[in-house]
Amino acid sequence: MQTVNRLDELHPAVDSLRQRGDVALVPTMGALHPGHLTLVREAKARAGAVVVSIFVNPTQFGPNEDLAAYPRQLAEDTRLLEAEGVDLLWAPSVEEVYPEGFATHISVAGLSETLCGAFRPGHFDGVATVVAKLFNHVRPDLAVFGEKDWQQLAVIRRMARDLDLTHPRTARILGVPTVRELDGLAMSSRNRYLSSQDRARAGALPRLMREAIAAIVSGEAVASTLATLRSALLEAGFESVDYAELADARSLRPLTAAADAPARLFVAARIGGTRLIDNMPLAD
Ligand code: PAF
């Protein structure tokens, strides 16, 4: 595996990988866990060469968020990616991605404003902007993201279509189902912030979400089921619930009934100061 930091190294390295066929990009912020490695495997199964980017993107963190504390472990991540047979690791510096005077932001209206967007102003602008830059530099035929960040995936798909990043190089955007721990907790780099006691309690999140889904599917009213879910999360040890919403899987508009639209349950809740998010389909 080749590792590059600078853009003038990245471009010839990607050009030479193209001779092997389709190039897949797996954008990450590092602190890799088995969920990320699943994305890499999906990319490898579909493309001739795999590029992974590791960049803790400052523009997607709010002023009071965990940018400084976000786990960074480049040596360990490099070892993990090497073992997966990744072809190229791109780990740029902040100065390389955001040169002095940087002043352009991409904002995807609507999809960025609901759910997490309402609680993390500017977060999805930071994501859309950096992913557009990653796509421009690698020009992948395929890009792979986790469905755990369902809203992020929706924002990126919209941005790529609206800015024609899916043409002429395909940049097909593949969403990969969430990888979960044994108790159902969605894998996340932020899970490592949890104390062992909070980690044990956090397993209530997917369990209570599944119970809420079963209630809605069996005909319980959506509003009262979501209210029960919020209270149950607080009882289970979560200190606050940003949202627990049933929403249209594509538009992310809230649903008040389990309607014809493909619906998903979305939750963001805090435990031990750590904000966890998850989402699940109403029906598989
Ligand atoms: O999901 C992430 O790790 C990040 O939001 C992404 C897509 C790499 C953009 O910084």
- Is the Cβ atom of 87 under 6 angstroms away from ligand 1? no
CA distance 77 to 123: 24
Looking at residue 184, the DSSP 8-state letter turns out to be S
pTM more than 0.85: yes
Specify the pLDDT at position 1.
98
Residue 209 is part of a domain; what is its CATH number? 3.30.1300.10
Tell me, yes or no, whether 124 and 222 share the same domain.
no
Q: Reduced to 3 states, what is the DSSP secondary structure of residue 106?
A: coil
In tens, the pLDDT along 127-180 reads 999 999 999 999 999 999 999 999 999 999 999 999 999 877 777 999 999 999
Confidence of residue 260 (pLDDT cuts 50, 70, 90): low
Instruction: Tell which one of 54, 72, 120, 149 to mutate to probe ligand 1, the residue whose CB is within 8 A of the most ligand atoms.
Output: 149
Specify the pLDDT at position 167.
74
Specify the pLDDT at position 39.
98
Tell me, yes or no, whether 152 and 18 share the same domain.
yes
Tokens of 96: 């390389």
Task: Please name the residue whose Cα sits nearest to atom 1 of ligand 1.
Answer: 28
Q: What percent of the chain has pLDDT over 70?
A: 99
Task: Please name the residue whose Cα sits nearest to atom 9 of ligand 1.
Answer: 127
Q: Reduced to 3 states, what is the DSSP secondary structure of residue 150?
A: helix
- Residue 57 pLDDT > 90: yes
- Residue 259 pLDDT > 90: no
Residue 184 included in any domain: no
Across 215-237, average pLDDT: 97
Q: State which H helix or E strand residue 281 sits in.
A: strand 274-281
Tell me, yes or no, whether 94 and 221 share the same domain.
no
Give 268's strand partners.
243, 277
Tokens of 230: 């919020």
- Contact between 26 and 39 under an 8 Å Cβ cutoff? The reply is yes
Residue 100 is part of a domain; what is its CATH number? 3.40.50.620
In tens, the pLDDT along 73-110 reads 999 999 999 999 999 999 999 999 999 999 999 999 99
Task: Please name the residue whose Cα sits nearest to atom 5 of ligand 1.
Answer: 127
- Residue 284 pLDDT > 70: no
Mean pLDDT of the chain: 96
- Contact between 49 and 1 under an 8 Å Cβ cutoff? The reply is no
- Is the Cβ atom of 131 under 6 angstroms away from ligand 1? yes
Q: How far is ligand 1, taken at its centre, from the CA of residue 15, in Å?
A: 24
Looking at residue 179, the DSSP 8-state letter turns out to be P
Give 152's strand partners.
none
Specify the pLDDT at position 157.
96
CA distance 55 to 30: 7
Tell me, yes or no, whether 111 and 199 share the same domain.
no
Give 105's strand partners.
none
Tell me, yes or no, whether 146 and 258 share the same domain.
no
Specify the pLDDT at position 158.
96
CA distance 6 to 194: 34
Q: Is 11 a catalytic residue?
A: no
Look at residues 131, 155, 176 and tell me which one is the last residue of a structural domain. Answer: 176
Tell me, yes or no, whether 277 and 141 share the same domain.
no
Tell me, yes or no, whether 124 and 209 share the same domain.
no
Please count the structural domains in the chain. 2
* Catalytic entry in 36, 105, 123, 137: 36
CA distance 155 to 60: 13
- Is the Cβ atom of 189 under 6 angstroms away from ligand 1? no
Q: Which domain holds residue 10?
A: 2-176
Kindly report the backbone phi and psi dihedral angles of residue 108, in degrees, each rounded to the nearest multiple of 5, phi listed first: -95, 105
- Is the Cβ atom of 130 under 6 angstroms away from ligand 1? yes
CA distance 200 to 44: 34
Across 10-15, average pLDDT: 98
- Residue 258 pLDDT > 90: no
Specify the pLDDT at position 166.
83
Across 204-225, average pLDDT: 97
CA distance 51 to 81: 10
